[in-house]
Structure 1
Amino acid sequence: MKNSHVFLSVLHYPAVNKDKKWICTSFTTLDFHDIARPARTYELGAYYIVQPFEAQQYIIKEQIKYWTEGFGASFNPKRSQAGSIVKLSSSLTEVIEDIQKNFNKYPVLIATSAKRYENTISYKDMKEIIEKKENPFLILLGTGWGMPEELVKSCDYVLEPILGAGDYNHLSVRNAAAIILDRLFSPNR
């Protein structure tokens, strides 16, 4: 696959609430397909769902199994293809270790945020760096009220915010994922 050196991760932990306190958010089944499908469309290496709670992991595992091995696989082969790139992890560290194991390199971490940081980069510049294929890349998407600021600041890059026509700026993680992937990987950009 063209972008098999690029990975996407939705972090249910760590996330923050509106008071900037660290929390763990709940998985929603919409995130499974609505992020897996664009990740597969743009030929990413994998889409990781980071969820530390065992009860939530059970739901995610069952959904993966249903769409890749169960009735869903034969009922809708396109969704099965998208589901086949979904991986479940207990932590961001586990995701990084999995990528590092396969590439013998630590992935370049790319945070996403609704605000600018010191290491903010444009989509055009990030696309050029990714296209060189010199490293594996991991794009991090936050849930809740986003990722902790400490995590965002520790990343190699932060993608510029997705801005709308006005001052409202609160996209769902599913919408943001599709826009980000299109901006980075569409051949029309």
Structure 2
Amino acid sequence: MENSHVFISVVHYPAVNKDKKWVVTSFTTLDFHDIARPARTYELGGYYIVQPLEAQQFVISQQIKYWLEGFGSRFNPRRAEAAKLVRLVSSITEAIEDIEKNTGKKPKLVATSAKKYPQTLSYSDLRKKMEKKEDVYLILMGTGWGMPEELVKSCDYILEPILGPGTYNHLSVRNATAIILDRLFSVNRELESL
């Protein structure tokens, strides 16, 4: 796989609510395939769902089982192929450890945010780093009202926000993931100005 050194994760904890309090967000079944399929399209190394709650883990593990072993694996093999990338973990630390165990390298953490930070990196600059394939990367996608600032600022890189022509900036994690992956890995190089 072309980009097997890059992984993506949907972070349900830590997340913040509109009052900036730390919370655990709920898994949405749409996120399973609507992120696994772009991850497979752009040939990433894996897709981590970071969810610490046991009840939520049960739902996610049943969905994984359905698509890898159950009726879904026979009904729609293309979706099953994307589902092979999905890994369920309880924490970001667990995802980092799993990547390090499987690649021999600790991943560089890439935060995403709807806000711009002083150390924000452009898509073009991050793409150039990733194309060298010297490092392994884990892209963190926030849920709820985003990831806590402490987490974002602790990452190796912070990717610039996705901006439209106006001030409205509230994409679903599914939409944001697809846009980000396309900007980073599309073979359409007309996007160099991004």
Same fold flag (TM > 0.5)? yes
TM range (shorter): over 0.9
1:157 maps to what in 2?
157
After TM superposition, give the deviation of residue 50 of structure 1 in Å. Answer: 0.3
2:192 maps to what in 1?
none
1:137 aligned onto 2:131 = no
Q: Superposition RMSD on alpha carbons, in Å?
A: 0.6
**Contact 1:119–1:156 under 8 Å retained in 2:** no
Unmatched 5+ stretches in structure 2: 190-194
CA distance in 2 between partners of 1:69 and 1:124 (Å): 39
Give the paired residue count.
189
2:55 maps to what in 1?
55
Letter in 2 for 1:129: K
After TM superposition, give the deviation of residue 68 of structure 1 in Å. Answer: 1.1
Secondary structure at 1:146 match in 2 = coil
Unmatched 5+ stretches in structure 1: none
Letter in 2 for 1:45: G
**Identity %, equivalent residues:** 74
1:102-142 residue CA offsets vs partner (Å, 9 max, x unmatched): 22221110000001112200000100000000011000000
Q: Structure 1: which 4+ aligned runs deviate by more than 2 Å? A: none
Secondary structure at 1:138 match in 2 = strand
CA distance in 1 between partners of 2:35 and 2:102 (Å): 22
CA distance in 2 between partners of 1:41 and 1:158 (Å): 23
CA distance in 1 between partners of 2:118 and 2:93 (Å): 24
Q: How does the TM-score come out when normalised to structure 1?
A: 0.99
1:4 maps to what in 2?
4
Q: How does the TM-score come out when normalised to structure 2?
A: 0.96
CA distance in 2 between partners of 1:156 and 1:119 (Å): 9
CA distance in 2 between partners of 1:65 and 1:165 (Å): 42
CA distance in 1 between partners of 2:98 and 2:7 (Å): 11
